[in-house]
Amino acid sequence: MTLPLADLRILDMTNVLAGPFCCYQLAQLGADVIKVETPGTGDLARQLGADPELNKRLMGASFLAQNAGKRSVTINLKSPAGKAVFLRLVASADAVIENFRPGVMDRLGLGYEALKAVKPDLVYCAISGFGQDGPLKDNPAYDQIVQGLSGVMSVTGDKASAPLRVGYPVADTFGGITAAFAVAAALFRRERDGAGEKIDVSMLEATLVSMGWAVSNWLIAGVRPEPMGNENMTASPSGTFRTGDGLLNIAANKQEQFVTLCRLIGRPELTGDARFAQREDRKRHRAALTLEIEAALATRPAAEWAALMNKQGVPAGEVLSVPEVLEHPQVEARGLIKHFPDAPGVDRKVSVVRAGFRLASGDPQPLTPPPALGADTAAIFAELGYAPADIDQLRADGAI
List, by residue number, the catalytic residues.
Answer: 172
Helix or strand run (H / E) with residue 294: helix 286-297
Q: Tell me the C-alpha distance between 49 and 260, whole Å.
A: 46
Domain extents in the chain: 9-210+333-396, 238-319
What pLDDT does residue 318 have?
98
- Fold identical between 9-210+333-396 and 238-319? no
| C-beta separation of 33 from 368 below 8 A | no
> Distance between CA atoms of 224 and 218, rounded to whole angstroms?
5
Distance CA 146, CA 207 (A): 8
CA distance 161 to 182: 36
pLDDT value at position 347?
87
Hey, how many other C-beta atoms are within 10 angstroms of the C-beta on 77? 18
DSSP E strands in 332-393: the ranges are: 337-340, 350-353
Predicted local confidence at residue 49, as pLDDT: 95
Instruction: Assign domain 9-210+333-396 one CATH number from 3.40.50.150, 3.40.50.2300, 3.40.640.10, 3.40.50.10540.
Output: 3.40.50.10540
Under CATH, which number does the domain 238-319 receive?
3.30.1540.10
pTM: 0.93
Handedness of CA 164, 168, 169, 174 (dihedral sign): negative
Note the maximum CA span of the chain. 85
Q: Is residue 220 exposed (0-12), middle (13-18) or buried (19+ Cβ within 10 Å)?
A: exposed
pLDDT by 10s per residue, the chain, length 400: 789 999 999 999 999 999 999 999 999 999 999 999 999 999 999 999 999 999 999 999 999 999 999 999 999 999 999 999 999 999 999 999 999 999 999 999 999 999 999 999 999 999 999 999 999 999 998 999 999 999 999 999 999 999 999 999 999 999 999 999 999 999 999 999 999 999 999 999 999 999 999 999 999 999 999 999 999 888 999 999 999 999 999 999 999 999 999 999 999 999 999 999 999 999 999 999 999 999 999 999 999 999 999 999 999 999 999 999 999 999 999 999 999 998 999 989 999 999 999 999 989 999 999 999 999 999 999 999 999 999 999 999 999 9
DSSP 190-222: HHHH---EEEEEEHHHHHHHHTTHHHHHHHHH-
Compute how many other C-beta atoms are within 10 angstroms of the C-beta atom of residue 274.
Answer: 8
